[in-house]
A and B are shown apart, each in its own frame.
Chain A
Amino acid sequence: MRNFLLSVVLIVAAGAAAWTYAYRRCCDPDLRAAARAGDAEHWLRREFHLNDAQMAAIEKLQADYAKECSVHCHRIMEAKEALMALESESNIPVARLTTARTEVAQREAECRDAIRGHLRKVAALMPPAEGRRYLAMLLPKVDAFRHEGAPNLRLDP
């Protein structure tokens, strides 16, 4: 019995060692650290193999886009606040509610189109193959925003 138990312990230890070895070979500590720190820029540079010049050009583009982004943000908030105000009142005609909802959807669509345009500009600054990969990875997420993505971004550190 003693030998049997010793064998079981050693076999389990060997399995754990194999797990650790395979995990270390296949994991990406740098990516892990970036994810924990929420360092998207580091990820962008590394994921798409960008050099300093490309990264600087992309950062400049991002900074320019940030102004446009804040305008979109402001317009979306205005439309949503108007809709919420309407929804909190009673006996509001359906047509007014529909108009307000359409307004929110329209402003969000404008924002979505602007993001797509921005992503294409960023992709154009990358090596062609990386640019295509960048768009293939991110464009579907722009469309999926409402369904799966951003709202729970940092809830699971």
Chain B
Amino acid sequence: MNNEEHKVRQALAEWRLEPEADPGFRSRVWRRIDRAVDSETWLVYVRRNAASVALALGLALVAGGWFGRVYAQQQVKRDRDRLAWDYLASIDARYQADQLMKR
């Protein structure tokens, strides 16, 4: 080890870095993170949250399909029932008598 090298090592060993506290450091970091998140495209966002998006989409499809089916079946049942009553009313003298007496 020559003399120059020794001086450098000594200088490095004695060197103490004492940065001043920066109160705005954290907020600046978060602002940069927020900016980065805001500027990402929707496709990147979806890829980053693929599991949640897939789960929500699956639930929406299943729930939408199920409710649509149930609603249609109930409507068919109601329509059929109503037509059956219409048909019966046309041959039911009790109903016709009630209607005539209401007039």
Given the known interface contacts A3-B45, A7-B53, the answer about A23 and B72 at a Cβ–Cβ threshold of 8 Å is yes
Residue of A nearest to B56 (CB): A11
Given the known interface contacts A7-B53, A18-B60, A35-B79, the answer about A142 and B92 at a Cβ–Cβ threshold of 8 Å is yes
B85 touches A149 (CB 8 A): yes
Query: Within the complex, what minimum Cβ distance (angstroms) separates A57 from chain B?
Result: 16
Query: Within the complex, what minimum Cβ distance (angstroms) separates B30 from chain A?
Result: 15
Q: Mark A72-84, 1 if CB is under 8 A from B, else 0.
A: 1100110011000
Cα separation A145 to B87 with both chains bound (whole Å): 13
Residues of A within 8 A of B66 (CB): 22
Q: Which of A19, A27, A32, A138 contacts B64 (CB 8 A)?
A: A19
A77 touches B100 (CB 8 A): yes
B88 touches A34 (CB 8 A): no
B95 touches A151 (CB 8 A): yes
A47 touches B61 (CB 8 A): no
Does chain B have a CB within 8 A of A86?
A: no
Interface majority SS (helix, strand, loop, mixed), chain A: helix
B42 touches A150 (CB 8 A): no
A7 touches B60 (CB 8 A): no
B89 touches A80 (CB 8 A): no
Cα separation A47 to B60 with both chains bound (whole Å): 34
Cα separation A150 to B80 with both chains bound (whole Å): 14
Residues of A within 8 A of B72 (CB): 22-28
B88 touches A150 (CB 8 A): yes
Does chain B have a CB within 8 A of A124?
A: no
Interface positions, chain B 73-98, Cβ under 8 Å from A, are 73, 75-76, 78-80, 82-98
17 additional contacts (CB under 8 A) given A47-B80, A153-B85:
A3-B46, A11-B53, A11-B60, A14-B61, A16-B64, A18-B60, A18-B65, A19-B68, A22-B64, A24-B72, A26-B69, A26-B72, A38-B86, A41-B87, A44-B87, A66-B91, A150-B89
B-side residues, CB < 8 A to A, are 38, 40, 42, 45-46, 49, 53, 56-57, 60-69, 71-73, 75-76, 78-80, 82-98, 100-101
A-side residues, CB < 8 A to B, are 1-4, 6-7, 11-12, 14-28, 31-32, 34-35, 38-41, 43-44, 47, 62, 65-66, 69-73, 76-77, 80-81, 108, 111-112, 114-115, 118, 137-138, 141-142, 145, 149-151, 153
